[in-house]
Amino acid sequence: MSSKNSETRERILESAWKLLAGSQASAVRMSDIAKQAGISRQAVYLHFPTRAELLIATTRYIDEVKDIDARLAKSRSASEGLERLESFVEAWGNYIPEIYGVASALISMQTKDEEAGAAWDDRMNAVRHGCEAAVEALARDGKLTLSLSTSEATDLLWGQLLVENWELLRHRCGWTQARYIDVLQQTVHAILVDSTNT
């Protein structure tokens, strides 16, 4: 990809990000993104043949700009399952506030907008993969509760980490971010870790 094409692609992604994080996210069209980027709609389609591809690329671009890999490095390099679990919960829980604008837009759009749903599903599947890795590390250490299969434990952890839960506790209930992380770590420890083998 040429430098000019790369710059145009980045401008498109930045424009999509800005619009999705704005107050009119549910109405964001390819033409809106083109206008924001200062290019033609056809130019947007040259880089992203479908709106779904553009929305998915935008969420991945946000992860790249915010260096999600560096944030997850502690969890991924943990030598023990419990450390991996706690580090993953902390990394994702502290990432939610930074992506909340785009996340809430995609969540609200997904019921009526298949492309937005595909973009949000793509990101949530990545989170589920992280949950699965943490659960499997616990299981390898013999510390996963015997009352759950690894699949069930993954599902349960994934459910605890939903953006909607963060929104409820932080915005509706007024929890601080620090309290949210602390209680979330205690909660997943209580439901996933074998208390007889800690």
Q: What percent of the chain stands above pLDDT 90?
A: 78
Q: What is the pLDDT of residue 52?
A: 87
What is the rounded average pLDDT of the residues 151-164?
A: 97
* 10 within a domain of the structure (yes/no): yes
Average pLDDT, the chain: 92
- What would the DSSP string read from start to end of 35-73? HHHTS-HHHHHHH-SSHHHHHHHHHHHHHHHTTHHHHHH
* 168 within a domain of the structure (yes/no): yes
Let me know whether 44 and 73 are in one domain.
no
Residues in the chain: 198
Range from 22-31, 70-79, 186-195 carrying the lowest mean pLDDT: 22-31
Closest CA to 169 of 195, 187, 144, 194: 187
Q: How many CA atoms lie within 13 A of 164 on its CB side?
A: 7
What is the rounded average pLDDT of the residues 68-91?
A: 96
Which residue range forms the structural domain that includes residue 91? 64-197
Q: What is the pLDDT of residues 1-56, one digit of tens each?
A: 556 678 999 999 999 999 988 866 666 889 999 999 999 999 999 999 998 899 89
* Reduced DSSP (H G I as helix, E B as strand, rest coil) percent helix, strand, coil of the chain, to 5: 80, 0, 20
Instruction: For residue 30, give the CATH number of its domain.
Output: 1.10.10.60
